[in-house]
Amino acid sequence: MAGVNVKSEIKPLKKVLLHRPGRELLNLTPNTLEELLFDDIPFLKVAQEEHDAFAQALRDNGVEVFYLEDLMAEVLEGNPELREKFLKQWIEEAGIRTERYQKIIFDYMQQNYPDAKDFVLKTMEGINLAELHTDKSNSLVDLVSESSKMVVKPMPNLYFTRDPFAMIGNGVSINRMYSETRNRETIYGEYIFAHHPLLKGTPQYYSRYSAFHIEGGDILNINEHVLAIGISQRTEPDAIDEIAHNIFNDPTSPIDTILAFNIPNSRAFMHLDTVFTQIDVDKFTIHPGIMGPLTVFEITPEGSGIKVREMNDTLESILEKYVGCPVELIPCGGGDRIAAEREQWNDGSNTLCIAPGKIVVYERNDVTNKVLRDKGLDLIIVPSAELSRGRGGPRCMSMPIERED
């Protein structure tokens, strides 16, 4: 069945979109870590082994796994006329301003990467000056640049497929990202949702060309009627206003309430899903720093516009009201402050639920994992020594396409 169907964080997962970390990670250097939003450089070979184990764990539990790079390659193979258009757009979005370099890079990509998948992977990896074999005597820029300079920067965050777009019910938000580095990633979503048979025709609730930033890690499907969105370091309230209008104006969408959670603006609380995630009908993992009173805005449709109501209450009370039953909040680190801070840094509360009470977790968060197991949850543990260096957990690394209703 083609199309998107994600009306819950916990219903059995049927289809998921991943990106296997590639050579883009080899183009991270200590000097570019901050710009490219990494805290350390993962060892690619081990990161790929860990990611393959993650994908296999999903398959072993009945989930059909799709890869972003495969879907994009299939779009180009099925629509050869799009290749030039995509390449020119990719070059422009990479910030290549001079006509000389636009032509050099265009010719280099066309001549050296005839295979669609190799071509797509190269657009993710980036290009350094040495690869282009330019005549340095023709350009002052070339003469003063180091040969290892990245002419087109890599996209190392792509393995966090949760963020560039987000499935909402039967629709999608193709996001405008917080950083320039990650904004380039959404080009693949633009083409896949416009042209791939699996996803073509999906209602679009947000555009990558919108003025305000919003990221998928801030979007949680509580149930078919309620959507939670974080006001965070990465998502602006203006974007939530816009997406609310678009969702409420879609007659096919059953969503009638959007909860905007005002969360601390810091890297540790980067997205709403680093603060809490639903793992069972009545259970959530949470960051202990979020247990006090919260400001949440309830957004509902009113006429052709929206109505916003401020609520100040505990996370527990707010979730109980909208989930419709008493809930249990399970703090990351099991109440130990040092363990909580360490394991939150390694995404202890960023779990992927593949069925009620059945969750994928990182191996290294052993304190939190023991607490979850003691609460009766079924844990699928995946290795994470290298993947976690990018500051994202199993939920960040996955974009559900279809869950059971």
Q: Kindly report the CATH number assigned to the domain that includes residue 120.
A: 1.10.3930.10
Domain membership flag for residue 1: no
User: What pLDDT sits at residue 268?
Assistant: 62
Is residue 382 one of the residues assigned to a domain?
Answer: yes
Mean pLDDT of each 10-residue bin along the chain, 405 residues long: 86 97 89 75 92 97 98 97 97 91 94 97 93 65 56 92 95 94 94 96 96 95 96 93 96 96 76 87 85 87 93 91 93 78 68 95 88 94 86 90 95
Residues 269 and 131 occupy one common structural domain: no
**Which of 325, 332, 353, 396 is flagged as catalytic?**
396
Residues 55 and 173 in one domain: yes
Residues 136 and 254 in one domain: no
Question: Could you list the residue range(s) of the whole structural domain that residue 323 is in?
Answer: 13-68+157-403
- In the prediction, which pLDDT does 143 show? 43
Q: Does the residue 195 lie in any domain?
A: yes
Domain membership flag for residue 6 = no
Residue ending a domain, among 135, 152, 169, is 152
Same domain, 266 and 185: yes
Looking at the fold, whether 293 and 319 belong to one and the same domain comes out as: yes
Choose the final residue of a domain: 128, 152, 176: 152
Does residue 396 carry a catalytic annotation?
yes
Residues 223 and 336 occupy one common structural domain: yes
Q: Domain check: are 125 and 217 in the same one?
A: no
Residues 246 and 352 in one domain: yes
List the CATH number of the domain containing 329: 3.75.10.10
SS in 3 state form for the chain? CCCCEECCCCCCEEEEEECCCCHHHHHCCCCCCCCCCCCCCCCHHHHHHHHHHHHHHHHHCCCEEEEHHHHHHHHHHHCCCHHHHHHHHHHHHCCCCCHHHHHHHHHHHHHHCCCHHHHHHHHHHCEEHHHHCCCHHHCHHHHHCCCCCEEECCCHHHHCCCCCEEEEECEEEECCCCCHHHHCCHHHHHHHHHHCCCCCCCCEEECCCCCCCCCHHHEEECCCCEEEEEECCCCCHHHHHHHHHHHHCCCCCCCCEEEEEECCCCCCCCCHHHCEEEEECCEEEECHHHCCEEEEEEEEEECCEEEEEEEEEEHHHHHHHHHCCCCEEEEHHHHCHHHHHHHHHCCCCCCEEEECCEEEEECCCHHHHHHHHHCCCEEEEECCCCHHHHCCCCCCCCEEEEECC
Whether 339 maps to a domain, the answer reads: yes
Domain boundary among 152, 177, 194: 152
> What is the pLDDT at residue 104?
93
Q: Give the total number of structural domains in the chain.
A: 2
Query: Does residue 236 share a domain with residue 87?
Result: no
pLDDT recorded at residue 323: 92
